[in-house]
Amino acid sequence: MPYRSFFSYSVTRAYPLRWFTPTVIIGGIIATALVSFLNVAATGYELVPTSTSDPNSTETNGVWFSKWPSYLVGARASCDAANLQVQSTIYTDKRAFPYTLSRVWQLGDGGQEVYQGSMVYKNNPIQKCNVTLIKMEFEGPGRTAGQLAVAPMGGTVTATSQCYVDEGTPSGRTYFELLSTYDAIPGPRTVSSAFLSLNKTTNPSLYWGYSLLNVYWRTVMQSFFDEDMARTEAPFFKGNVDLQRNMTLKGTMEENVQNVEFLRVPACWFIPLNTTGVAYLENRYCNSSSITELANSPHPAAFERPVPNIWHPVGILGKAMWFTVLADLGRDDDDMPNMLARPDLLANLTSNMNEANSTLRKTFRWGLESSLISQKGFDPAQSQDVHLWVNQSQLVADYLCQVPQLKSAGNLFLSVLVADLVILQVIWKIFTLLVDKICIKDTEEAQYCAACAPVPQSVQAAGGYQSVIGQDSKAILLEERRSLGT
């Protein structure tokens, strides 16, 4: 008696269809190529870590299948959001100023500010930036020896700005505050203004902002030095002037930004020297917030307005800092038209630039002779050749990303081979099932088993099988089974 295994095999026979073989061969080649192509995208890549400053392009333009549906792709590029810590230094994509991230907050349910220690950020455009305060500091003997060797008087101009980003999360907008400082002759305690992408042709608005800052920083420091030396009383050791936007002006915003009173002086402090050192006096300076009134003080000036000649250049330097920061942060709209982005407004802002430059003495001209600095005012006729612009900005950060990388040749071959075998087998099963149900089910040839009964000669001559197993054939089969003991 033959051994019978637990496992069994099926009896097969050739398909009685003339078109079946070429269809399987051609279709198999096409299916194998297509399935292999898809499996390279699905299983042929692995994720490797990398860092980038542009997560958007990394996620969308990583590999050739990056725009395919997610269910067809096994390894898709992705980047984690950056975590910007409070008090860290950051730049925008225009890279004009280094900024210190001083505060981060969100608005709670009751509208209260909920402060955070860091800001989660992923290359979102920063929106509706606004400068809230310009602070100018004057310093003479307190500067370093190297700074004093270049100019006898110096100082810094610091802008406080507030913006927000919309992360598209349930928590809503994230607000943040930035501090940026400009010093034409920076010292060890001052972060130098970068202006790393400064170019007269590709970014003329920042070029003009940089020129205005350079010329009027020197003009203000020279004016303060001259006023200080002309004082009949002790010279000032330090000085501080705050500038804020004047919210009482009437008219359109374009008229307001051109107004001399666009910025007001809410407070100022000056500290004189005496024979025993620094003398602190109760603040009685700047008893007017109007730049025009402070500038028109009698000379020699009253105690409350001791340095009248500095105020007009202070107003222009404040505007230059205001709009250069906003240009770096990408702000130019009807609510706050940027004077560096519009020809008529820029011509107004630089209208006294030629005179300011011509009055600078050699002592204060160090670093001014540069191809990156314009010493002349903007000519509106140049607006045909110079395209001023300010577009939306983004913060620059390093993002940790996972990007697809093609596997090694051996791993790629095995991965695709295994996936191909599985999918091709499924395709074959589905194909044969459909053929059996549609093309074979009602075919008479499929009802005949050549090993079960002889084919009558009359049927063979007719070219088909017209009968099934007869009584004699059944008797023969029974006899064979008995002889085999089944």
In a domain, 255, yes or no: yes
How is residue 1 written in tokens?
A: 């008696």
What's 438's DSSP letter? I
Cα 203 to its chain centre, rounded Å, is 19
**How much is the pLDDT for 156?**
92
In a domain, 415, yes or no: yes
Same domain, 387 and 305: yes
Amino acid 202 reads T
Same domain, 33 and 113: no
**How much is the pLDDT for 465?**
44
Q: Is residue 240 within 8 Å of residue 136, measured between CB atoms?
A: yes
Q: C-alpha angle 93/97/99, rounded to 5°?
A: 90
Q: Is residue 175 within 8 Å of residue 162, measured between CB atoms?
A: yes
143 — phi, psi (to 5°)? -80, 165
In a domain, 74, yes or no: no
Q: Is residue 319 within 8 Å of residue 336, measured between CB atoms?
A: no
Same domain, 359 and 486: no
In a domain, 29, yes or no: yes
Three-class SS state of 354: helix
Same domain, 414 and 292: no
Which range among 27-41, 71-85, 104-118 shows the weakest confidence by mean pLDDT?
71-85
Q: Which residue has the higher pLDDT, 24 or 272?
A: 24
Which residues are bridge partners to 242 per DSSP?
A: 135, 267
446 — phi, psi (to 5°)? -70, -15
In a domain, 362, yes or no: yes
Mean pLDDT of 72-82: 81
Same domain, 325 and 196: yes
Residue 290, classified by CB atoms within 10 Å of its CB into exposed (0-12), middle (13-18) or buried (19+), is middle
| Domain, as residue range, for 417 | 17-44+407-442
Same domain, 362 and 462: no
Q: C-alpha angle 111/112/113, rounded to 5°?
A: 120
**How much is the pLDDT for 330?**
94
Number of structural domains (the chain) is: 3
**How much is the pLDDT for 431?**
86
Same domain, 430 and 459: no
Same domain, 149 and 208: yes
Residue 7 has pLDDT above 80, yes or no: yes
Alpha-carbon gap, residue 195 to 91, rounded angstroms: 10
Mean pLDDT of 358-369: 86
- The tens digit of pLDDT for each residue in 367-419 reads 787 777 888 888 887 766 778 889 999 999 999 988 888 888 888 888 888 88
Q: What is the mean pLDDT of the chain?
A: 83
Mean pLDDT of 200-221: 91
In a domain, 65, yes or no: no
At 466, the pLDDT band (50, 70, 90 cuts) reads very low
Q: Which residues, 6+ apart, have CB-to-CB distance to 37 below 8 Å?
A: none
Cα 182 to its chain centre, rounded Å, is 24
Which residues are bridge partners to 90 per DSSP?
A: 99
Residue 388, classified by CB atoms within 10 Å of its CB into exposed (0-12), middle (13-18) or buried (19+), is buried
Alpha-carbon gap, residue 393 to 395, rounded angstroms: 7
In a domain, 75, yes or no: no
- What is the pTM assigned to this prediction? 0.78
- The tens digit of pLDDT for each residue in 419-442 reads 888 988 999 888 888 888 887 766
Which residues are bridge partners to 403 per DSSP?
A: 48
Alpha-carbon gap, residue 159 to 179, rounded angstroms: 6
Same domain, 311 and 435: no
Residue 468 has pLDDT above 50, yes or no: no
Q: Which residue has the higher pLDDT, 78 or 253?
A: 253
Same domain, 98 and 218: yes
In a domain, 52, yes or no: no
**Of 98, 72, 101, residue with least CA distance to 85:** 101
Tracing tokens 């205001």 back to the chain, one arrives at 322
